[in-house]
Amino acid sequence: MIRVVCFDLMDTLVRDPYREALWAATGTTPEGLAERRDPTAWPAFERGDIDEEAFARRVLPDGGFDAEAFTRARRAGYAWVAGMRPLLDELGGVVVRWVATNYPAWVDELLEGRGVLGGEGVAPRIEGVTASCRLGVRKPEPAFFAGLLAEAGVGDAPQDALLVDDRAANCEAATAHGLAAHHFDGVERLRERLAAEGVLPPR
């Protein structure tokens, strides 16, 4: 029986504005920066190994990164993924709603609605969060799922947790760790899965 639904944050609950923000900061795409950018900067930032200032310095070691433009575009680009805010409301009191995210310290802006999402954060609609920047490890590493299950209170019953994530690799890693998983591609199929699990009534 599913007792905890663990939602990825970016492109599952909230639209990820990273590409637009990077364009605003550099005038090109991630692909266009492939040979110039430091590939270790983002994972280190997501793990909490470096802060935002260090990330801005490291992302393009040869310069040309406008950190202020990046921040403006990032904050302006956040939006709820269609249908997910009302779904979280519907799940309130039915299951434990948890966020399981690879995201840096910006996660707090999203949780609290500080200058983003119209001032209405994610926190009122969830019971807890496991974030890579606090845990020090990222999905799909097994240690992330061990930490997630412990923090969500189902460490002894991983089958009672469902991960909802837009990345197949994370879903595969979750199932290898004993969780149920749903590869997210929109709210309607997620509703169907939750109904099949007995979490929501069928429509």
Residue 203 within a domain: no
Which pTM does this prediction carry? 0.95
Residue 188 belongs to domain spanning: 4-15+80-196
pLDDT of residue 28: 87
Look at residue 38 in the predicted model and tell me its pLDDT: 92
**CA proximity to 102, closest of 197, 16, 192, 202:** 16
Residue 30 confidence (pLDDT): 82
CA-based angle 131:168:71, to the nearest 5? Answer: 45
Same-domain status, 157 and 64:
no
Residue 70, CA distances (Å) to 25, 74, 102, 150 in order: 5, 6, 19, 35
Task: Read off the tokens for 119.
Answer: 């001032």
Quote the pLDDT of residue 202: 87
What's the pLDDT at 22?
92
Nearest to 67 by CA among 6, 4, 24, 111: 24
Where the chain has pLDDT below 50, the residues are none
pLDDT of 201: 93
pLDDT at 35: 82
Within a domain: residue 169? yes
Contacts of residue 203, defined as CB under 8 A and 6 or more positions apart, other chains included, come to 191, 195
| Buried-state track 60-83, b at ≥16 Cβ within 10 A, e below 16 | beeeebeeebbbebbbebbebbee
Shared domain check, 126 and 35:
no
